[in-house]
Chains A and B, each alone.
Chain A
Amino acid sequence: MDSLVTQLDALPLLSLITLAPLAGALLILCLPERPVRTIQAVALVATGFPLVLAGWLYARMLAHPDTTGFLWQEIHPWLPEFGVQYHLGVDGLSMPMVLLSGIICFTAACISLQIDFRHKEYFALALTAMTGVFGVFTSLDLFLLILFYELASIPMFFLVGIWGSDKTGPGRPIRRQDAAMKLLLYLQLGGGLVLLGLFGLYFLSDLKTFDYPELLRATLAREQQIWLFALIFLGFAIEAGLVPFHTWLPDGHSSAPTALSMLLAGVLLKMGGYGILRVAVGLLPEGARFWLPLIGVLAIVNILYGALCALRQTDIKLMIAYSSVSHMGIVFLGTSTMASPELGTGALFGATGAVFQMFSHGVITALLFGLAGTVYLVTHSRDMTRWGGLASRMPWLATVYVLAALGSLGLPGMSGFAAELMVFLGTWQQRPFLAVLAICGLVITATYLLRSVQFAFYGPLNPRHAEVRDALPAEKLPLGLLALTTLAFGLAPRLLTDVTTPALQAILERLVP
């Protein structure tokens, strides 16, 4: 058994995870347009394989919680004259994100079976984006990271623009083409700022390298760190939906096809949060100590403003998108506690809560989008006031939606609660007033989510939908998998915290003055 593990470890495991979807995409391009089933099968295999592999690596990491540093590293020279390498590796911070990407990509691929035209292009583009997503979390070379970031964001433009849906009904109409353009521009703006910051890091550090472990040794003056942190943070924060740079998020997430909404909310936002923790905070401790207190305040704006905007929506996908803005505020708030790691356990709780929230929000929001999209498929409307009483016709979807809504509003037993509790506990130890404001968001969250349950599933059945169907087995599998994940991590948060704690403690140690 051990020898088998050793032999397997000799394989480039992370490359296999990262490049499998891309290989699938290339294969699909070589396949004929029909039969569609072959294309779908390739897509499922190309996403199922990384999920299994990521789950296996995660389990091994969980079994040895004391390991520190980067595991399963792969280093190949690529552009040596620029200090760019093909360098992959994971630690306790990135491994949960890789697992999350595996889950989301696989479930998104399952939900993509609903796509009913131009399959070949759709799956090729979606799988390419998925490789980008995995790559962001596995690469340890920052140039490679930004490259994967672009690989993940550019296909989104086509996917949203071609296969998306328009928002009609009350309020401002949103055309999917406009939403796609907005999304692309914002993501490029974010990427550009990060790239600018990385070039700054490259030139100012005198190391002339983009290699992350190398850059950890860089010594930068405080002023330089402050400027670089601002650039890199802002770039990643745009991607993570920081108010007021968030408007691409509701438009893009709500216009995207279901599986892409899951991918966008589930992992693309997390690339921003991960980038902040890994690059901005991880490499620029002085800059972090300078800026993080302010970020705590911005986080509160995110939490409350996003929740209030969500309360105003009748379009269910827009509501979920604004709830993402609100929930990403929890990630920012948790991150901001890292400003004072020397005071008690607040920073550790806050940082762990931030990572936990990224994971939990990824799963729950993907679930919500998956459910909303599946219902949209049969009701042909995204306006929940026009749904009404659907629980009578689709009990399975209604049950899981209630479960997801409860998870999203932070009910104990689901992952969202553990995340929020840790962030609140961490924040309270440092800045109780911010925690008070953040806690107030809980009641707004409960209101808009239960309101959506009431509009969509409770009440008398709207005769418009007298003949709708419940979920098909092919939809139950991915949605059920997501629901079980949030329950498992909610009941046993150690599944995640045991993995993240060493990595976060390493980052926090660098932040102690």
Chain B
Amino acid sequence: MHEQVAAAALEGAAANVWLVPLLPFLAFLILSFLTRPWGRVSAAVSILALTGSLVISAQVFWQRFTQGGPPMQVALPWIPLSPDHPLGSIELGLLVDNLSALMLLMVCFVGLCIQIYSTAYIRTEIAHFPTQGSASMSRFFGWISLFTFSMLGLVLSHNLLEMYIFWELVGLCSYLLIGFWYFKHSAAEACKKAFVVTRFGDLGFLMGILMLGVALEGFDFLGLTAKFSQGVPDGLTAGFVALATLLIFCGAIGKSAQFPLQIWLPDAMEGPTPVSALIHAATMVAAGVYLVARIFPIFHPAGHAGEAALVVAWIGGTTAFLAATVAVVQNDIKRVLAYSTISQLGFMMAGLGMGAYTAGSFHLITHAFFKSLLFLGSGAVIVACHSNDLWRMGGLRRHMPFTWFAFLMGCLALAGVPPLAGFWSKDEILGYVHSAPGGTALYLVLTFSAFLTAFYVTRMYFLAFEGPYRSAEKAPADLAGPVPPQAFPAPFPTSQALDVAPEWTEEKAMASGEDLPAACRGAGMEQVPHGGHLPHEVSPWMWAPLLVLAFFAVFLGFAGVPTGLGLGLPNYFEGFIHLSGEGHAHEFHWTPMLVSLVVALAGIALGAWLFARAPERGERRLRAALGPVWPLLAQKWYLDHLWARALAGSMYAGARASAWVEANLVDRVVLSVAQTIRNWGAWLRAEHTGKVQQYALMLLLALVLLAVGIGFVEPGFFTSRQYFLDLLEGGR
């Protein structure tokens, strides 16, 4: 921890950077203890605090952008046991470099948009639950503030252990917020699943941290990465480093919902929609990608991809492909977006694994903007239509013009249409992978995923916004509803079925005729009676943030236009975020850019052809064309069931085995010992007959036996008085 690294102290605006996470944390405390009964005051406090953070982080960003210079850091001992020793204390600190400054700005900005949106949105959800009052609003904003604090702390972390601390706190906040409507059975199950599944990844993360940190005698990022600038450090083998980095990457797999731990993210939809936006864009899932970017030099010692990097790239590619395919068949608008998030994170990981540090980070930033836009937009749509089901929407373009426009921009950005943000960043990744040695196969996978992305985005857009408004009554019965439908039963039990069930369940509650709020039932796909109103914009508080985000979804890409394109724009992003030793200089190629343009347009064209005019017919055609693949996709490649079986199943099997051992071996031995002693007692009790003569006889016998015994071992006993005295003295 006392590595000599070129790092400066915090100066200028950066000297205030500690306020950036602190303000939301203070807001959390105020909301929890002071303003709890007044929801609107809480919202104002929370927004005010985050605005303060945004201003400071903008100053820090501007300082880094204009002045540059070496990374700045400060560290304080948190647990100093033996400060003289390199591994003798655990430190907490702040690290401000270009990457963290940019992330700070992104998290604060997107977080602020989400919070402003939530002021209007959360009231519509609270309205569903008559028992929930203003305190729910305070609770919501308090936890959102805590979430923001954790993410900002994670971004500013100075060493791996500190990052692990905030990493877990981010996990905690997602647990709280996914289970925000705690009385919904599905929410209660989803939040537990999210925490436990990501914790599987965190096991690896902690092991990796300890493995690397103990071997290199230090945990701080600058010191660690500096050791890898000239290749793998002396004394370590490449295999050791690969294992350690892969273990650390396990954490990223969990948090960023990469294959095979992606199963928690779609269920995380149970939280209120702004939470989904926060999780999917600015905070939770971004953490994994940020981690990989932060320790990028360890994955690529001396600028060459290590063994672990290739695994990262392929896990990213696999995830991008699998999630994109599943997104094609979803009916729930939030689930489409959830799988698209997983898929896009896969793109980022693939890029980072192949060495595209700049491109991966760029996509992380642009994705944060357009994905939060899409989620917030879907929230507005859900509120307006009272349903998550795409088949119960339609025609919203005319009813919700602002939302429509913003959402369309988000869709185009996600689909990769130039010149929107998503095009530039995704193309950077694809271009890099294309030109990287050995990247051809991955490039093909990613390109196909990009095609699927354009296709499912188009499907979602047309189902929701074009055509006539279908409403619940006119929704096609054979297409609408949850995916997978009842016709495809699960082959294996899910985690809930492996355990005991609570006595009181939602089914029983409904059977008893209890008046549960409609949103309590199932996965929120039910229709609330609508009163025949047409959908309409809910509130300017909701569409205004959408338009702001849409602005960035459209124009942010210009910050990272490749210089080789000849547009005359400098590549600001690459100038700001790059590594001194970043791999082979990325040259600009026209081929991949044209290919991704063609692919995006092809996906959109196919989607439009199927869904623009008669979406019902298009969907039936799609399902027919997919044939046996459709149920496979609808069941998410059966991965959920497989993993529920493998992870939860093995854990519960272990629990059953342990309980059996406990009852039948450990406790039985104890009980049989006790029983034996009791039997002796019963035998001795038989001697207690109460006959005095018998007692006297026994006493006499015992004395004789004792005397004979002692006389046998100690012949002097009966003859020498001195012996007796010696014996007594000897006891002293």
Interface residues of A (CB under 8 A from B): 81, 170, 172, 182, 185, 243-244, 246-247, 305, 308-309, 311-312, 314, 344-345, 348-349, 352, 385-389, 391-392, 406, 411-413, 417-418, 421-422, 424-425, 428-429, 432, 435-436, 439-440, 442-444, 446-447, 450-451, 453-455, 457-464, 493-494, 497, 501
User: 23 pairs across A/B with beta carbons < 8 Å?
Assistant: A246-B666, A305-B658, A314-B500, A344-B87, A345-B81, A345-B87, A385-B500, A392-B131, A412-B168, A422-B79, A425-B90, A425-B210, A435-B207, A443-B196, A444-B651, A446-B195, A446-B199, A450-B175, A451-B192, A455-B502, A460-B184, A464-B504, A494-B79
Please name the residue on chain B nearest to A392 by beta carbon.
B183
A344–B85 touching, CB < 8 Å: yes
Q: A345-B81, A345-B85 are in contact. Are A458 and B667 (CB under 8 A)?
A: no
Q: What are the nearest 9 A-B pairs in CB distance?
A: A458-B188, A462-B504, A308-B658, A311-B655, A412-B165, A312-B659, A428-B210, A388-B504, A312-B655
Contact flag A451-B512 (CB < 8 Å), given A345-B87, A349-B81, A457-B182 = no
A459 touches B502 (CB 8 A): yes
Task: Give every chain B residue within 8 A of A386 (Cβ-Cβ).
Answer: 502-504
B interface secondary structure, majority = helix
Instruction: State A246–B655 Cα separation when bound (angstroms).
Output: 17
Assess the A428–B131 pair: CB atoms within 8 A. no
A454 touches B189 (CB 8 A): yes
With contacts A314-B500, A385-B501, A493-B79 taken as known, whether A308 is within 8 angstroms of B655 at the C-beta atoms is yes
In the complex, besides A345-B88, A454-B189, A460-B184, 20 extra interface pairs with C-beta distance below 8 angstroms are A185-B674, A311-B651, A386-B504, A388-B504, A389-B504, A392-B183, A406-B172, A424-B206, A425-B210, A429-B87, A432-B214, A435-B207, A440-B203, A443-B200, A450-B196, A451-B499, A454-B188, A458-B188, A459-B184, A460-B504
B672 to chain A, nearest CB (A): 13
Beta-carbon contact of A345 and B82 below 8 Å: yes
The interface residues of chain B lying within 8 Å CB-to-CB of A447 are 192, 196, 651
Contact B185 A460 (CB under 8 A): yes
Of B168, B183, B210, which is within 8 A of A435 by CB?
B210
Contacts of B206 in A (CB 8 A): 424, 439, 442
B490-519 CB contacts (< 8 Å) to partner A? 499-506, 509, 512, 514, 516
- Could you say which residues of chain B place their CB within 8 Å of the CB of A428? 210-211, 214
CB distance from B372 to the nearest CB of A (A): 26
In this complex, the member of A388, A429, A443 whose beta carbon has the largest number of chain B beta carbons within 10 angstroms is A443
Is B715 in contact with chain A by the CB < 8 A criterion? no
Chain A residues near B505: list those with CB within 8 A: 459-460
Q: How far is the CB of A461 from chain B (nearest CB, A)?
A: 7
- Closest chain A residue to B185, Cβ basis: A459
Q: Does B662 contact A (CB under 8 A)?
A: yes
User: A308 to B653, alpha carbons, bound, how many Å?
Assistant: 9
Q: Which residues of the partner chain B approach A244 to less than 8 Å between Cβ atoms?
A: 666, 669
Q: Which of B648-694 contact A (CB under 8 A)?
A: 651-652, 654-659, 661-663, 666-667, 669-670, 674
Write the nearest CB–CB distance from B202 to chain A, whole angstroms: 8
For A308, the chain B residues whose CB sits under 8 A away are: 651, 654-655, 657-659
CB-CB nearest in chain A for B194: A450
Contacts of B520 in A (CB 8 A): 460
Whole-angstrom distance between the alpha carbons of A194 and B161 in the complex?
40
What chain B residues lie within 8 Å of A182 (beta carbons)? Answer: 670
A432, B185: Cα distance in complex, Å: 40
CB-CB under 8 A from A421, the residues of chain B are: 90, 161
Residue numbers in A under 8 Å from B500 (CB-CB): 170, 314, 385
The answer to whether A493 and B663 have CB atoms under 8 Å apart is no
Known: A305-B658, A344-B87, A385-B502. A442 touches B516 (CB 8 A): no
Cβ of B80 within 8 Å of any chain A Cβ, yes or no, is yes
Say whether, besides A344-B87, A447-B196, A412 and B169 are in contact (CB < 8 Å): yes
The reply on B724 being an interface residue by CB < 8 A is no
* Residue interface mask B195-229, A partner, CB < 8 A = 1: 11001101100110011001000000000000000
Residue of A nearest to B164 (CB): A412
CB nearest neighbor in B for A429: B214
Number of interface residues of B (CB under 8 A): 69
Asked whether A459 lies within 8 Å of B88 as measured between CB atoms, the reply is: no
Chain A neighbourhood of B674, CB < 8 A = 185
Also in contact, A309 and B658, with CB within 8 A (given A444-B651, A454-B188) = yes
Min CB distance, B656 to chain A, in Å? 6
* Closest chain B residue to A440, Cβ basis: B203
Residues of B within 8 A of A439 (CB): 203, 206-207
A residues in contact with B164, CB < 8 Å: 412
Q: Does B78 contact A (CB under 8 A)?
A: yes
When the two chains form their complex, are residues A462 and B503 in contact, meaning their CB atoms are under 8 A apart? yes
B78 touches A493 (CB 8 A): yes
Q: Of the candidates A246, A311, A443, A494, which one forms a contact with B203 in the assembled complex, judged by CB atoms under 8 Å apart?
A: A443
In the assembled complex, how far is the CB of residue B544 from the closest CB belonging to chain A, in whole angstroms?
34
A450 / chain B contacts, CB cutoff of 8 Å: 175, 191-192, 195-196
With a cutoff of 8 Å between Cβ atoms, the chain B residues found around residue A458 in the complex are: 179, 182-183, 187-188, 191
B655: chain A residues at CB < 8 Å are 308-309, 311-312, 444
Is the Cβ of B81 less than 8 Å from the Cβ of A432?
Answer: no
Best-buried of A348, A413, A425 by chain B (most CB within 10 Å): A425
With beta carbons under 8 angstroms apart, the residue of A311, A391, A497 that contacts B81 is A497
A463/B512 contact (C-beta < 8 A), A428-B214, A443-B203 known: yes
Q: Distance (Å) between the CB of A281 and the closest chain B CB? A: 18
How distant is A313 from chain B, measured CB to nearest CB, in Å?
A: 8
Q: How far is the CA of A187 from the CA of B499 in the complex (A)?
A: 34
Contact (A389, B214) CB under 8 Å given A439-B206, A497-B81: no
Output the least CB separation between A138 and chain B (Å).
Answer: 25
The listed residue (B166, B214, B504, B658) touching A312 by CB distance below 8 A is: B658
Which residue of chain A has its CB nearest to the CB of B506? Answer: A460
Whether A247 pairs with B183 at a CB distance below 8 angstroms is no
Asked whether B667 lies within 8 Å of A247 as measured between CB atoms, the reply is yes
- Please indicate which of the listed interface residues B79, B499, B661 has the most CB atoms of chain A within 10 Å of its own CB: B79
A247 contacts B670, CB within 8 Å?
A: yes
Residues of A contacting B657 in the complex (Cβ-Cβ under 8 angstroms): 308
Tell me the complex Cα distance, A493–B92, Å: 12
From B175, B191, B199, give the contact of A443 (CB < 8 A).
Answer: B199
Question: Whose C-beta in chain B lies nearest to the C-beta of A436?
Answer: B207
A463 with B658: CB separation less than 8 A: no
B80-135 CB contacts (< 8 Å) to partner A: 80-82, 85, 87-88, 90, 131
Given A344-B87, A451-B499, A458-B179, CB of A497 within 8 Å of CB of B79: yes
Bound-state Cα–Cα, A412 to B172, Å: 10
Min Cβ gap A250→B in Å is 8
Smallest Cβ-Cβ distance to B181: which chain A residue: A458
Query: Which residue of chain B is the closest to A351 with respect to CB atoms?
Result: B81
Distance in angstroms from A6 CB to nearest chain B CB is: 31
Question: How far is B502's CA from A464's CA once the two chains are assembled, in angstroms?
Answer: 13
Chain B residues near A170 (CB-CB < 8 A): 500
Rounded to whole Å, the gap between the CB of B293 and the closest CB of chain A is: 22
Alpha-carbon distance A305/B660, docked complex (angstroms):
11
- Smallest CB separation, B235 vs chain A (Å): 15
Q: Note all chain A residues with C-beta closer than 8 A to B210.
A: 424-425, 428, 432, 435
Roughly how many angstroms separate A464 CA and B512 CA in the complex, as a whole number? Answer: 13
B392 to nearest A CB, angstroms? 25
Which of B166, B175, B520, B662 has the most C-beta atoms of chain A within 10 angstroms of its own C-beta? B662
Which residues in B have their C-beta under 8 angstroms from that of A462? Answer: 502-504
Q: Is the CB of A388 within 8 A of B503?
A: yes
Alpha-carbon separation in the docked complex, A455 to B504 (Å):
9
Let me know if A432 and B211 touch, CB within 8 A.
yes
CA distance in complex: A422, B210 (Å): 11
B550-564 toward A: CB 8 Å interface, digit per residue (1/0)? Answer: 000000000000000
- Asked if B183 and A389 sit within 8 Å, CB to CB, the answer is yes
The minimal Cβ–Cβ distance linking A502 to chain B, given in whole angstroms, is 11
Specify the chain A residue showing the minimal Cβ separation from B187: A458
Q: Which residues of A contact B656 (CB under 8 A)?
A: 312
Alpha-carbon distance between A412 and B170 when the two chains are bound, in angstroms? 10
